[in-house]
Amino acid sequence: MNQQRSADDWTAQGLKALAKSGFTALKAEPLAKAMGVSRGSFYWHFADLAAFHAAVLKRWREIAAERIIADVEAAGDEPVKLLLRRSFGARLDLERAVRNWAAFDASAQAAVRAIDRRRLDYIEELLQKQGLGPATAQARAQILYWTFLGFALSGPSITAARLQALLDEILRMVSA
């Protein structure tokens, strides 16, 4: 067995397992088996399961908010449009899995609340930069975020063409 696994390897495997099988899959033994290492590798990097869970939630926040925001900021052009494409075009298995986990775990619930606040604040900021007043930007940011959550938690996917048509309509509604 190759024991040369980093904490990042473990959190990446944790995110994969979480997205595929839910939060009950976030245990040292099955993850170690999937990675072809012993549980000792897990405990080399994490004091306990709670520390591992915290690392997984931290990585989720980075992926699900901070990286997207950084990409939008780096692009500069049409940030709301880019944010819609990135958010609605992403695979949302992980989003659903973390939100399900939050129904059973206080740490996951706190992470979800924090990311919801971060995302809402960012959307509101973008809308204000487009010229909307604070109250209007806040209301439209909330509506836009609820739309995203409804989409993320919905089951069947839609075609790329249908998604683009919906995103165009959302953009018109938000920008009106």
> Does the pLDDT at position 3 exceed 60?
no
Quote the mean pLDDT of the chain: 92
pLDDT in the model for residue 1: 44
- Is residue 46 within 8 Å of residue 55, measured between CB atoms? yes
- 69-78, 118-127, 159-168 — which one is most confidently predicted on average? 118-127
154 Cβ contact partners less than 8 Å away, ≥ 6 residues apart: none
Best CA proximity match to 32, nearest among 2, 55, 57: 2
**The dihedral sign for the CA sequence 152, 113, 7, 2:** negative
Q: Each residue of 24-76: pLDDT tens digit?
A: 999 999 999 999 998 888 999 999 999 999 999 999 999 999 999 999 999 97
* Single pTM value for the model: 0.89
Res 175: pLDDT: 80
Cβ contacts of 6 within 8 Å, gap of 6 or more: 45
pLDDT at 172 over 80: yes
**Calpha distance 31→170 (Å, rounded):** 40
pLDDT for 89: 82
DSSP E strand boundaries for 77-118: none
